[in-house]
Amino acid sequence: MSLLKILSRDRNNYDATFSNVKGTPANCRIQLAQSIKGVYRVHTIICPNAAPPLSTITNPALVITVNGTPTNTGTISDNTNIILPIIEDWGGSTLNAGETATTTTTNTNNLPVRDRYYDLDNIIVDLNTNLANNAVTAAVGLSVVYESHSSRLRFLKTDATMAVTIHTILDNAHSTAAPVLGITENVEMLAADTYKDTQAPVSLARDLLCYQINIAEAEFGVRDTKGRTSGIVLPIDENSHTTLIYRGSMHGEQYLNFPTGTSVLTIKLTNDRGEELSSLKGGLGQDYMILLEKVNNVHSKTFSKIPNRN
């Protein structure tokens, strides 16, 4: 048995500073140790499952506590949390005791929201706008940036006298955006802290029935209803924030052919609609592994000659 293990973390190594990996897990080039050619069977795929879709959450928001007891008026009162909206006016749910909701107005020029929130850049802009417009979070200089090397959010704070907590959805049900933004545990910023990262990568690869793994150098035996090659199909049959494990022997065999020798693989991940899941746009930010097995009993003429257009 001849096996080839493809690791997205090996994507074309590092930039000139040896600090930033080139590409993203969902859109990358991987240099192989030696050239490959011929037909391979998909043996195993191990891939993280993304968070639920932010664009379909009603009134997506983060619950934030400043020094234990903030309000959205800039004053301190006991047992109060800020419910900070990301997209639009918050008010679709009932407030719990001791909570206050900050409201904003939806920019109708950016509708439909579903399309706008396929892009992480828009989420960060809107989240920072609302942090700046809230008197309490503005007073402590709270903001957020995206760390491309880790695909995580980093919360920044300029005030050195107050602590900040960003709540998970398990800690507060109104913090509905937390799972999508990689907040799996409360982000606790002590008074002296100037920044703190989320615990998990951002995952906006949403509304998924399956992942499609496309390799530009390969031909595939799968075509969709429009006659396009669709790459390796990885069905999503687990809950969000779990790990998908695909085994060809259990899920059905898929094959791909490398018609000419290649030592570089150009890989793109899409959803079932063919939309790319580049983590720079907030898609799949976690690394994955693909294990291919060399086979000799499948003829290369079995494969589609239609160019991979996904």
3-state secondary structure labels for all residues of the chain: CCEEEEEHHHECCECCCCCCECCECCEEEEEEEEEEEEEEEEEEEEEECCCCCHHHCCCCEEEEEECCCECCCCCECCCCEEEEECCCCCCCCCCCCCEEECCCCCCHHHCCHHHHCCCHHHHHHHHHHHHHHCHHHHHCCCEEEEECCCCEEEEECCCCCCCEEECCCCCCCCCCCCCCCCCCCCEEECCCCCEEECCCCCECCCCCCEEEEEECCCEECCECCCCCECCEEEECCCCCCCEEEEEHHHHCCCEEEEEEEEEEEEEEEECCCCCECCHHHCCECCCCEEEEEECCCCCHHHCCCCCCCC
d(CA 256, CA 270) in angstroms, rounded, equals 17
Same domain, 150 and 22: no
Residue 307 falls inside a structural domain = no
Same domain, 192 and 238: no
* Contacts for 173 with CB less than 8 Å, ≥ 6 apart: none
Q: What is the pLDDT of residues 290-307, one digit of tens each?
A: 999 999 877 666 665 444
* Contacts for 170 with CB less than 8 Å, ≥ 6 apart: none
Residue 309 falls inside a structural domain = no
**Other CB atoms within 10 Å distance of the CB of residue 281:** 18
Same domain, 173 and 246: no
Same domain, 140 and 59: yes
The answer to whether 103 and 90 are in contact (CB under 8 A) is: yes
Same domain, 58 and 46: no
Query: How far is C-alpha 93 from the geometric centre of its chain's CA atoms?
Result: 26
Total structural domains within the chain: 2
Same domain, 234 and 277: yes
Per-residue pLDDT at 213 exceeds 80: yes
Same domain, 102 and 215: no
| Average pLDDT for 230-253 | 83
**Residue of 63 and 51 predicted with greater confidence:** 63
CATH number of the domain encompassing residue 232: 2.60.120
Per-residue pLDDT at 187 exceeds 80: yes
Give residue for tokens 């983590």: 279
Residues of the domain holding 159: 54-197
Same domain, 173 and 73: yes
Q: Which two tokens stand for residue 214?
A: 């496309």
Residue 310 falls inside a structural domain = no
* Final residue belonging to a domain, choices 145, 162, 197: 197
Residue 306: per-residue pLDDT: 43
Residue 5: per-residue pLDDT: 94
| Average pLDDT for 53-64 | 66
Same domain, 164 and 80: yes
Same domain, 129 and 237: no
* Final residue belonging to a domain, choices 178, 197, 216: 197
Residue 85: per-residue pLDDT: 55
Q: Which two tokens stand for residue 251?
A: 């899920």
| Average pLDDT for 102-109 | 41
* Final residue belonging to a domain, choices 197, 232, 267: 197
Read off the pLDDT band of 18 (50, 70, 90).
very low
Residue 226: per-residue pLDDT: 73
The answer to whether 288 and 44 are in contact (CB under 8 A) is: no
Residue 141: per-residue pLDDT: 93
d(CA 178, CA 62) in angstroms, rounded, equals 6
Average predicted confidence (pLDDT) for the chain: 74
The answer to whether 229 and 310 are in contact (CB under 8 A) is: yes
Residue 119: per-residue pLDDT: 65
Same domain, 230 and 178: no
**Residue of 129 and 114 predicted with greater confidence:** 129
Query: How far is C-alpha 208 from the geometric centre of its chain's CA atoms?
Result: 12
